[in-house]
Homo-oligomer: A and B are copies of this chain.
Amino acid sequence: MAQKNKLQFVILGLLNQQPLTGYDLTKAFDHEIGEFWQAQHSQVYPQLKRLEEQGYITHEITISGEKLEKKLYHITTTGQAILTTWITAGTPELTATKDEFILKLYFIRTSRDPRLPEMLSEQLQLHSEKLQHLQARLTTVFPTKKSQTENFGHYLILQHALGRENYYVTWLQETLAALPHKA
């Protein structure tokens, strides 16, 4: 089933919170939800068209300034039903990750490979930055207990992503430290 077009559900989910334009949705993939899902505007606009054809969303045109037309999309009752069905259905397929660094590691034969230290260090740097970014996000977006309960799912997955990165960084550090020293 390819990917079963999950993009449609992300869009429905976001529109279920508030009406948005294609541009707004695209921005969301760079910001809030960007840690967990990504899409370019060249995917968003055609998908909005399809969702509207199916009757899951509608749009109204608003004018910004003199003549800039914005299409503000709303979810329909049908759309909400589709969204609920998707969320409520099971999720029995685990996502297979394709991590290029991990793939490269697979082809390293010995612990004495001279490329290993730099490879691991580079990833340590990258994942440390990501970890710090997530830490900052978590404290910015969810500073209070109240904010955490108000958007519980988002809080959960941010916190989950943080833990995942934390594990990655720890693993890289331990692996680096365990490498044999130069003979």
| A53 lies within 8 A of chain B by Cβ | no
Interface size class of A (residues with CB under 8 A): 35 or more
Q: Which residues 71-111 of A have a CB within 8 angstroms of B? A: 83, 86-88, 90-111
Contacts A164-B164, A171-B163: A36 and B91 contacting too (C-beta < 8 A)?
no
Contacts A90-B122, A122-B92, A126-B92: A106 and B36 contacting too (C-beta < 8 A)?
yes
Q: Which residues 8-64 of A have a CB within 8 angstroms of B? A: 9-10, 13, 16, 33, 36-38
CB <8 Å contact, B95 and A97: yes
| A141 lies within 8 A of chain B by Cβ | no
Chain A residues with a Cβ under 8 A of chain B: 6, 9-10, 13, 16, 33, 36-38, 83, 86-88, 90-111, 113, 115, 119, 122-123, 126-127, 130, 149-154, 156-157, 160, 163-164, 167-168, 171, 175
Q: List 28 A-B contacts (CB under 8 A).
A: A6-B100, A36-B97, A36-B102, A37-B103, A38-B96, A38-B98, A83-B107, A87-B108, A87-B115, A88-B115, A90-B122, A91-B123, A93-B100, A94-B126, A95-B99, A95-B100, A97-B97, A106-B157, A108-B153, A109-B150, A110-B149, A110-B150, A110-B152, A111-B149, A160-B175, A163-B167, A164-B167, A167-B167
